[in-house]
Amino acid sequence: MASVFWDAESILFIDYLEKGKTMTREYYSNLLTRLDEKICEKRPGLQKKKIIFHQDNASTHKSVLAMGKLRDLHYELLEHPPYSPDLAPADFYLFPKLKLFLAGQRFFSNQEVIAAVDGYFADLMKNHYRDAIMALDHCWNKCISLKGHYVEK
């Protein structure tokens, strides 16, 4: 499993969960600390600005430990309405294209898959990430105008 953290410019950090391991609230909380270190390294100008953070409603993401970590990091959490997978830009924009890229390829080790994924993201144009953020804005506004329903009835 890969946890991909990105902004409108590029991938900030990818964590590949070791095979056989489980994403726990402790693991996720530590991931947020590592993400913050990457943000400080890659986007030093953001240290004095408000970071708006978006995640889905997975139990590890919403745990007291993770929420406390987000508060400690001074990240503003963009709420994710329950049962709204349409509002996860990784799910509707980033990962489908990655899946198409990986389709039909055979990998003989986890390292080969990781190298392919890292290479895929490294080759994307900068506007790809910005477009994904803009798509989130569009979907978010549509969800609000439809009072929580993404798909019009």
Residue at 151 is within a domain: no
Whether 60 contacts 66, CB under 8 Å: yes
**Strand pairing of 51-54 and 75-78?**
parallel
Residue at 42 is within a domain: yes
Residue at 8 is within a domain: yes
Residues 66 and 59: their CA atoms lie apart, in Å, by: 10
pLDDT at 115 over 90: yes
2, 22, 88, 90, 102 from 95: Cα distances, Å = 11, 21, 10, 6, 10
Residue at 150 is within a domain: no
Residue at 152 is within a domain: no
**Containing structural domain, residue 19:** 2-145
Residues 128 and 8: their CA atoms lie apart, in Å, by: 8
CATH code (residue 54)? 3.30.420.10
Residue at 120 is within a domain: yes
Residue at 17 is within a domain: yes
Domain count, the chain: 1
**pLDDT tens track for 18-36:** 989 999 999 999 999 999 9
Query: Which residue type does 16 have?
Result: Y
**pLDDT tens track for 119-149:** 999 999 888 888 888 877 777 777 777 766 6
Show the DSSP H helices in 3-125 as ranges.
25-42, 59-62, 64-72, 89, 95-102, 110-123
Residue at 39 is within a domain: yes
**pLDDT tens track for 53-78:** 988 888 999 999 999 999 999 999 88
